[in-house]
A and B are shown apart, each in its own frame.
Chain A
């Protein structure tokens, strides 16, 4: 896993770990835009995203010694960012998850495939972004972690504090919520039997 379009600057990482301020500056310039975009998608406002980006990099400076150099740097970076953003959301008590970990309560029926295809084809990226902003914090966070930063199910479970088996449910519910926001069509989002 790596930040989109970024080749990992291993030398700068090693130097930054050794305390080189210039190397740290290089890393900041390299990764700050991607982390800002991550925060922008995960948090409600632009100001929140700016503050969070700065806080994340301040935190990273102290945590850099914990980074295992045999793993992907950007994956680790996103993990720290996800934890930080989720902490912010939890502190503000805007976590509006109505989900429970009861997998039985999740709708397991098919949505209408052709209607779903049509919906996906008709919507633009812009509309999806606007729909994301309307979503609950947890659902949005799950989608951002999975489809923006390509985090694994284990990492998502770790960040959200849920069991790994529940991550799929969280993601599916988030998709339903997204569809609902896109269409305003509760029936489609809830899924109807074939």
Chain B
């Protein structure tokens, strides 16, 4: 190119060349610049100088890699130690709170219960150890073995977690657990029968557990194991050496059960001898004059007529309770109406909670007068205990939320966001999980998978319900104090929100709000869990950028002309 021609060219400005170098010009303009720099020596030189300047800048900034100052090198460890200290303090405070709760409230209540004559056990103890749920120590040992195995598995997973993915470790653990639970507990045959009419003849002996399903069931023979019946009309006149479990429309037990009776029925009549305890859930429960119960009776029914002989205690809840038989232990009854007949004998104290005083006939032999407590509708706002408990509950929720938010920050944040952004889906899942899961867990309890899985599921559901309320609290806090995506500000908002929810529950007729809040939160939690199980959103599975950016720190322009 001659000097005259070059002088005639209009040079490109530095801004245009820089934008060309950094690939910021559109395609057409870039082609113009490219064509121009091919012909113009001065612009080509400037372009080259700008590119070298870019390289020099990058090199200068990347070089001289100062070592990380010791303060920064130790920062992570120091922060961790500090967090451990805070956790220690938090759990210490929590333990102190639990101790204060126990000594201040639970222990006195337990003492009162013992004084009420529950044989030195509390209500829970009565339900667990004297009810048909209690099957002796052997199942507990098995459960302990499973828990020990699970713990060992967990420790092993922790040990190898650096070598395998966390998800894999959890999968391994749960697979082992499931495998352990599916192993047959004991090698025993099981007799199963079903049909419209099923019967076991008087001289027939079943040398194992027996499962029977049918419209009309008659058991007159001997069952050496447990008897599990599901039918419309059931009569057991034979001898069951194990437990009798029944889910039927009508059950009559006129024979002998050496173990316990666990019955779910519309109408239950016990006329024979029961070696251990009776737990009944039914509309109408009759313990006949000829019956003898070796242990305790626990009844949740519309009407309980107790005319037989009970060698230990009676716990009854329901509509009406009539006692005309003998109770060697104590009686704790909570129902609308209690009638004690003149033929009744009760060896221990009688505690009755109801809406009207009990009717006690003159000839009744009671160890002590009936202790009557009038039931009131709704909370007692005049009692300071009510407000203390409200405070304790609010603190407990905050502590619970604090721990869960700190342990699962991402999950908690997603739950709060789901709550806010997908109200309909949250409520839908709340109905499904809130009501469906307990039913599924209950069914699981009576199937082959077992009580452990069912009860664990129920415990998880219950915990999630409380966590749901905490999540709703965090959302309310966000409405008031503004949205945040950081952990500790979110915890602060959660505290405010939880206090507000608890305050609302104090207001008469608005107590149900906390249940709505808990279920709504449960729905949001379920939604997050559901999403996490979607293969497409496996967190961290890929970090491939959606668009390939410029190569780092090096390339800063279009092709230089030769």
Are B407 and A148 interface neighbours, CB within 8 A?
no
Are A70 and B53 interface neighbours, CB within 8 A?
no
Q: Which residues does chain A contribute within 8 Å of B72, judged by CB atoms? A: 32, 36, 50, 53-54
Contacts A62-B409, A111-B46, A113-B46; is A4 near B15 (CB within 8 Å)? Answer: no
Best-buried of B13, B50, B56, B409 by chain A (most CB within 10 Å): B56
A150 at the A/B interface (Cβ < 8 Å)? yes
Are B549 and A152 interface neighbours, CB within 8 A?
yes
Which secondary structure dominates chain B's binding surface? helix
Surface stretch bound by B, among A82-90, A91-99, A123-131: A123-131
For chain B, the count of residues having a C-beta within 8 Å of the partner chain is 69
Q: Which residues does chain B contribute within 8 Å of A37, judged by CB atoms? A: 61-62, 65-66
Residues 266 to 325 of chain B near chain A (Cβ within 8 Å): none
Q: How many A-B residue pairs have CB under 8 A?
A: 198
Q: Which residues does chain B contribute within 8 Å of A8, judged by CB atoms? A: 543
Cβ contacts B55-89/A at 8 Å (1 or 0 each):
01111111111111101110111011001000000
Q: Which residues does chain B contribute within 8 Å of A116, judged by CB atoms? A: 46, 49-50, 53
From B417, which residue of chain A is reached at the shortest CB distance?
A65
B505 at the A/B interface (Cβ < 8 Å)? no
From B405, which residue of chain A is reached at the shortest CB distance?
A19
Among candidates A28, A41, A57, A70, residue contacting B544 with C-beta atoms closer than 8 Å: A70
**Chain A interface category by residue count:** 35 or more
Surface stretch bound by A, among B180-188, B454-462, B481-489: B481-489
Among candidates A2, A20, A29, A128, residue contacting B60 with C-beta atoms closer than 8 Å: A128
Residues 225 to 283 of chain B near chain A (Cβ within 8 Å): none
Q: Which residues does chain B contribute within 8 Å of A110, judged by CB atoms? A: 11-14, 42-43, 46
Are B46 and A17 interface neighbours, CB within 8 A?
no
Residues 524 to 559 of chain B near chain A (Cβ within 8 Å): 539-546, 549-550, 552-553
Residues 45 to 64 of chain A near chain B (Cβ within 8 Å): 46, 50, 53-54, 57-59, 61-64
Cβ contacts B475-513/A at 8 Å (1 or 0 each):
000000000011111000000000000000000000000
Q: State the B residues within 8 Å of A (CB).
A: 11-15, 18-19, 22, 24, 42-43, 45-46, 48-50, 52-54, 56-69, 71-73, 75-77, 79-80, 83, 165-166, 406-411, 413-414, 485-489, 539-546, 549-550, 552-553
Minimum-distance CB pairs A-B, first 7: A14-B540, A62-B486, A128-B60, A113-B45, A108-B13, A125-B60, A113-B46
Given contacts A14-B540, A65-B409, A113-B45, 5 further A-B contacts (CB under 8 A): A37-B62, A50-B71, A63-B486, A64-B409, A126-B64
Q: State the A residues within 8 Å of B (CB).
A: 1-2, 4, 8, 10-11, 13-15, 17-21, 24-25, 28-29, 32-33, 36-37, 40-41, 46, 50, 53-54, 57-59, 61-66, 69-73, 75, 106-111, 113-114, 116-117, 120-121, 123, 125-126, 128-129, 132, 143-144, 147-148, 150, 152-153, 168-169, 171-172, 175, 178, 191, 194
A to B CB contacts below 8 Å, 24 in the list: A10-B541, A14-B541, A18-B408, A21-B80, A25-B77, A32-B76, A36-B66, A36-B68, A50-B69, A50-B71, A58-B79, A59-B486, A62-B485, A66-B485, A72-B543, A108-B13, A111-B14, A116-B46, A125-B56, A126-B64, A129-B61, A147-B61, A150-B553, A178-B57
